[in-house]
């Protein structure tokens, strides 16, 4: 996604870029003209007017199976935005652990005891290694403490263990120790001691068991005496992580609950960078964390790359999701690499595939095994670039395709569909379209893909989200970080359009995924999941995603809608799970009034009277979930016993409903 709303475009049905934003009827429009003439004057009251909406009929051709639903249709997207890696799913508690964020020791605070006069500054005279040039030099003179509060405070939990690891060396006569403390105000939560520091770099580790809990704790390193002490790679990680693979459990559980078929990573605009020196280079994100080069990213903060290419692949494996790796193609936001040297980027793509899939006796496969994963990751999908277009992209696309398919003919390569369309030589198998727009736009676009050319490339909707405005930025905006119910209904309408055309739409994923709710932690709104250092919550849009993912089906059933009120569309999709004998009818009521809908499955269809309904709604369509009220909007389940080949169902105002029917 672009870093400026002025770069954001909307792809219309003809696939061309259009900066116009559709103005659609307000969601609170009341369909007064649908009042039935049979109402007598005595019954015609204002209270009745507010409750009546147009009736509609969904006719389903159960005996005429449609096209299959792509098994990779429902996926998720991860971009390091909103501090969603460091400070998010990668649970490093220390901020600026390698002192590379600035020439000043950002996030570190030196305090002194009575009479002490110590000083601290970054130093490059004797680096820990050639790739980690900057350390912290402390000129000690008396009792001194070095404090780090991490990402808006460290969440320390009583009974849990935390691993401290740091590199240290000393000169000028310092022979003391380091007293380590986790604390909140005057409360000590854990203590430890580091001794044996010499003139050469050494690593030291401590296991700190918390004897108390605090949500705004800090790490404190205490020194006494005189001399010079050097520190680097000061890391504090919780021992308890998701599947013991180093990621934050609650956030990964929310991702896993969506049952994603694939995970697209690492972005997004994060792939490109603002300039070529800020592009994502996967080779700098693997191996020991002290040789991974921190990078100032497009969202204006440093990333440690503790979550690197290898960890992304492990995360996909743990989620049971296909990895979809998006690689830089020699293009950034402001500049491009010359075609004369583009071979480096092509080779990076080939090497990335070998790292993921190659045998252990290959160069990169051997490194994967050394990093703890001898078995291949079975990478099948690679996207070439992100939101790249124009002549420069059309020149680069064939160079990647030719080289990759010559060595890996089974790879699925995805092209960007951006300004100027998508490259035609060679024609891509899959193209990536991005959409960001208002709820009304998506509600009115329920038929967007119905008439797309089926002879062209398949489509991956690699970034999309409903927004109350075309784009929300953190600065100056006073809206929630996550979607309202109204936005979730726009999402549901769009998902109906994609699912109904699942012969064409083979993959899709909402963006962005995560939002750090601390002040200054969010650069883009809205996002699917919100969190702070302690808790997390899922949004109404997350619930809409979950509802669609759980009620997938494996084939689309042909269906049509008839309705009296064309101003209030009825987005819909009908799928069937053949093995289970289940029919899923998904309906979105975008009206502020209840809506009575007739479901007609054809007289020959036999279904059990008992049917399950899942409904996502709220009295106020602008309701949001939050850290304080995480379940303000959540699905409600009920059972009816009136299902038949033809039956009626009443949809609540502003709601998503899924009806699960059991075929006899």
- Kindly tell me if the per-residue pLDDT of 360 is higher than 60: yes
- Kindly tell me if the per-residue pLDDT of 2 is higher than 80: no
The Cα–Cα gap between 242 and 254 comes to 11
Between 391 and 446, residue with greater pLDDT = 391
pLDDT interval class at 566 (50, 70, 90): confident
Tell which of 401, 423, 445 closes a domain.
423
Distances (CA, A) of 340 to 396, 526, 544: 11, 40, 47
The average pLDDT across 216-236 equals 97
Predicted TM-score of the model (pTM): 0.90
pLDDT interval class at 472 (50, 70, 90): low
Residues 6+ apart with CB under 8 A from 475: none
CA dihedral 396→412→445→583, nearest 10 degrees, is: 180
Together in a domain, 254 and 348: yes
Together in a domain, 574 and 621: yes
Distances (CA, A) of 616 to 104, 513, 542: 49, 20, 11
Between 260 and 47, residue with greater pLDDT = 260
Strands 295-296 and 302-303: antiparallel
530 assigned to some structural domain: no
Tell which of 408, 423, 438 closes a domain.
423
| Adjacent-strand bridge partners of 336 | 331
Question: How many Cβ atoms sit within 10 Å of the Cβ of residue 386?
Answer: 28
Lowest-confidence region among 24-33, 192-201, 559-568: 24-33
Strands 572-577 and 582-589: antiparallel
The whole-number pLDDT of residue 36 equals 28
| Adjacent-strand bridge partners of 110 | 146
Tens digit of pLDDT for each residue in 406-448? 999 999 999 999 998 999 999 999 999 999 999 999 999 878 8
Together in a domain, 263 and 150: no
The Cα–Cα gap between 414 and 380 comes to 11
CATH code, 293: 3.20.20.80
Lowest-confidence region among 26-30, 184-188, 192-196, 360-364: 26-30
CATH code, 643: 2.60.40.1180
Together in a domain, 269 and 385: yes
398 assigned to some structural domain: yes
47 assigned to some structural domain: no
The Cα–Cα gap between 75 and 264 comes to 8
- Kindly tell me if the per-residue pLDDT of 14 is higher than 60: no
Tens digit of pLDDT for each residue in 32-88? 222 222 222 222 222 222 334 447 999 999 988 889 999 999 999 999 999 999 999
559 assigned to some structural domain: yes
The helix (run of H) or strand (run of E) holding residue 486 is: helix 485-500
481 assigned to some structural domain: no
Tell which of 406, 423, 440 closes a domain.
423
Average pLDDT of the chain, as a whole number? 90
Strands 161-171 and 536-538: unpaired
The whole-number pLDDT of residue 613 equals 98
pLDDT interval class at 471 (50, 70, 90): low
pLDDT interval class at 612 (50, 70, 90): very high
Domain count, the chain: 3
Together in a domain, 216 and 321: no
Lowest-confidence region among 237-251, 273-287, 434-448, 637-651: 434-448
- Kindly tell me if the per-residue pLDDT of 16 is higher than 50: no
Tens digit of pLDDT for each residue in 282-313? 999 999 999 998 999 999 999 999 999 999 99
The boundaries of the domain holding residue 202 are 108-238
* Residues belonging to the active site: 387
Together in a domain, 296 and 345: yes
The whole-number pLDDT of residue 477 equals 55
The whole-number pLDDT of residue 469 equals 73
% residues pLDDT > 90 (the chain) = 85
The whole-number pLDDT of residue 615 equals 98
The Cα–Cα gap between 305 and 283 comes to 11
pLDDT interval class at 159 (50, 70, 90): very high
Together in a domain, 224 and 268: no
Tens digit of pLDDT for each residue in 574-605? 999 999 999 999 999 999 999 999 999 998 99
Together in a domain, 303 and 345: yes
- Kindly tell me if the per-residue pLDDT of 326 is higher than 60: yes
């Amino acid at each position: 996604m672009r870093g400026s709303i002025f770069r954001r475009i909307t792809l219309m049905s003809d696939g061309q870029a259009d900066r116009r934003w559709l103005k659609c009827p307000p969601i609170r429009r009341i369909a007064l003209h649908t009042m039935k003439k049979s109402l007598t004057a005595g019954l015609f009251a204002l209270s009745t007017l507010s409750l009546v909406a147009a009736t509609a009929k969904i006719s389903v051709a159960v005996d005429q199976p449609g096209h299959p639903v792509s098994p990779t249709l429902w996926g998720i997207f991860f971009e390091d935005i909103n501090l969603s890696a460091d400070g998010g799913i990668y649970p490093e508690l220390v901020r600026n652990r390698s002192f590379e964020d600035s020439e000043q020791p950002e996030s570190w605070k030196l305090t002194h005891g009575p009479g002490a006069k110590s000083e601290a500054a970054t130093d490059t005279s004797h680096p820990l290694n050639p790739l980690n040039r900057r350390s912290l030099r402390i000129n000690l003179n008396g009792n001194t403490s070095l404090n780090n509060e991490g990402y808006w405070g460290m969440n320390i939990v009583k009974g849990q263990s935390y691993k401290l690891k740091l590199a240290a060396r000393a000169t000028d006569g310092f022979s003391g120790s380091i007293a380590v403390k986790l604390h909140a105000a005057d409360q000590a939560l854990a203590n430890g001691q580091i001794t044996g520091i010499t003139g050469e770099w050494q690593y030291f580790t401590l296991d700190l068991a918390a004897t108390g809990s605090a949500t705004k704790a800090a790490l404190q390193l205490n020194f006494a005496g005189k001399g010079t002490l050097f520190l680097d790679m000061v890391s504090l990680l919780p021992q308890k992580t998701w599947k013991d693979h180093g990621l934050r459990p609650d956030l990964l559980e929310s991702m896993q609950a969506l049952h994603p078929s694939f995970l697209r990573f690492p972005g997004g605009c994060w792939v490109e960078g603002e300039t070529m020196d800020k592009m994502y280079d996967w080779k700098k994100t693997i191996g020991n964390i002290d040789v991974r080069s921190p990078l100032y990213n497009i969202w204006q903060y440093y990333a440690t790359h503790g979550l690197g290419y290898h960890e992304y692949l492990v995360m996909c494996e743990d989620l049971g999701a296909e990895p979809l790796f998006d690689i830089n193609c020699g293009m950034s936001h402001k500049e491009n690499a010359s075609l004369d040297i583009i071979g480096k980027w092509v080779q990076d793509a080939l090497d990335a595939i070998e790292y993921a899939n190659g045998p252990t006796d290959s160069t990169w496969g051997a490194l994967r095994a050394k990093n703890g994963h001898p078995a291949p990751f079975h990478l099948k999908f690679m996207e070439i670039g992100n939101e790249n277009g124009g002549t420069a992209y059309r020149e680069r696309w064939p160079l990647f395709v030719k080289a990759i398919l010559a060595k890996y003919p089974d790879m699925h390569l995805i092209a960007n569909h951006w300004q100027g369309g998508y490259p035609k030589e060679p024609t891509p198998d899959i193209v990536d379209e991005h959409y960001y727009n208002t709820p009304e736009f998506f509600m009115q676009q329920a038929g967007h893909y119905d008439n797309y050319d089926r002879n062209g490339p398949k489509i991956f909707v690699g970034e999309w989200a409903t927004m109350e405005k075309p784009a929300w930025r953190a600065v100056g905006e006073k809206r929630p970080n996550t979607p309202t119910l109204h936005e979730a209904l726009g999402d549901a309408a769009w998902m109906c359009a994609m699912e109904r055309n699942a012969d064409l739409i083979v993959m899709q994923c909402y963006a962005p995924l995560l939002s750090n709710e601390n002040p200054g932690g969010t650069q883009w709104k809205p996002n699917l999941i919100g969190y702070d250092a302690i808790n997390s919550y899922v949004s109404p849009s997350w619930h809409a995603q979950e509802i669609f993912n759980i009620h997938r089906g494996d084939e689309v059933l042909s269906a049509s809608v008839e309705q009296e009120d064309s101003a209030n569309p009825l987005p819909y999709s009908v799928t069937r799970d053949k093995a289970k004998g289940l029919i899923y009818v998904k309906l979105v009521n975008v009206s502020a009034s209840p809506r009575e809908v007739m479901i007609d499955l054809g007289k020959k269809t036999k279904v059990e009277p008992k049917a399950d309904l899942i409904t996502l709604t709220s009295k106020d369509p602008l309701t949001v979930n939050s850290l304080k009220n995480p379940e303000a909007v959540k699905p409600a389940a009920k059972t009816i016993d009136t299902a038949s080949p033809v039956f009626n169902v009443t949809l609540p105002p502003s709601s998503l409903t899924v009806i699960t029917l059991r075929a006899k």
